[in-house]
A = this chain, B = another copy of it.
């Protein structure tokens, strides 16, 4: 029985209890929400090193994912291990291994063996690339795709992106629409190449039952990918994107019925004013399934800063109901990220997720902020640093300013807090706590 089937039959498993305790919510709420498909706990029993379970979905802390992995142009297992460690140290909730270069099996197995957080993959990458190296992607067989999926599930992958909504119908709608950037999803592009060349339907859609069977067997969570996500602001919220979402909504329902946990993936590039409607739409169409967004990036012109542009969109998406933010790094649109980029990407995406949690009223989200405000009032620097999202950086910045005493070099002796502390009596504050 899968976790979802157990939830459906009324069983509260130890995974549900762990998540409930961590989130400060009732374990019956977790069970019920998993059964309804609005919360998932990605968890493959074969992932032995998994220590930190994440519940993803409504009412829970907004989660952060870090993508790592090699490419055909840059392949170093050592570097990917460093990235994994950096991502976990920086506080990511999950990682995805998106390797497309080198020994993909070996890299994935090493990452799974080492990762204390859930690991996701995009199996179509491996299937397509192994064919690309031999006979060409267009000659990839349906069986091979499912064999790779099963192999990865067997290795202990906790969740998998599968672009099941890239169908002949949704591609037609996208082409009728007309786009500046057509398709920017790598998995989507592989499938489109195969489908157009072979004049066939997407096997992940056509044989969705076969996919569900594998997912069920290993209790892998499916992350229904958005292969037709907009790759620029001008393409956002168009008929191609929405057609794919409609299809994903139907597939989410089928997965739920089969006891398979499902996440829905979303854009991409999108102006701020379209984010709220997109979150609402996905939630409504997909039965409230956890919504996993990449960004969204709120402008196209910020390469080198796309982690920030994505954090703006992510904070908003999270506030309006997205449950899970995929990080972006400063390298997005320019190159494969470095170890430092990974670290920076995780921290900044955690800021976005935290800001969203405060705004949507996630239980306990404001606690640290209130403690920080109190530490500031007392000019208690050690406390301020320890409460910081990145204590090392905060400490380094303060140290570099060469200040001693309880002020900082911004205001020095003309510190507003210090002045007002003298003139206002303390201890009778009516502090509002959210």
Interface residues of A (CB under 8 A from B): 71-74, 100-101, 125, 128-129, 132, 175, 177-186, 188-190, 192-193, 196-197, 231-235, 238, 271-273, 298-305, 308-309, 311-312, 315-316, 319, 330-336, 347-348, 351-352, 354-356, 358-360, 366, 368-370, 372-374, 376-377, 384-385, 387-390, 393-394, 397-398, 400-401, 403, 407-417, 419-424, 428-434
Contacts and interface: CB of A to CB of B under 8 A. Distances in A.
A420 to B, nearest CB: 5
Contacts of A333: 376, 384, 408, 410
- The 8 lowest CB-CB distance pairs between A and B, nearest first, are A232-B373, A178-B430, A335-B401, A72-B412, A272-B359, A178-B429, A189-B416, A73-B412
Copies of this chain present in the complex amount to 2
A10 to B, nearest CB: 35
Contacts of A74: 401, 409, 412
A347 B414 contact: no
Contacts of A186: 411, 414-416
A184 B417 CA distance: 6
B298 A359 contact: yes
27 contacts: A73-B412, A100-B414, A180-B377, A180-B429, A181-B377, A186-B411, A231-B417, A232-B370, A232-B376, A234-B373, A271-B359, A271-B434, A272-B316, A272-B319, A299-B354, A301-B388, A303-B397, A304-B393, A305-B351, A305-B393, A309-B351, A312-B312, A331-B401, A334-B410, A335-B401, A335-B409, A336-B409
Contact of A434 (B234, B359, B424): B234
A419 B336 contact: no
A409 B73 contact: yes
Contact of A369 (B132, B300, B319): B300
Contacts of A128: 414
A218 to B, nearest CB: 26
A309 B370 contact: no
A369 B305 contact: no
B413 A348 contact: no
A370 B400 contact: no
Contacts of A428: 178
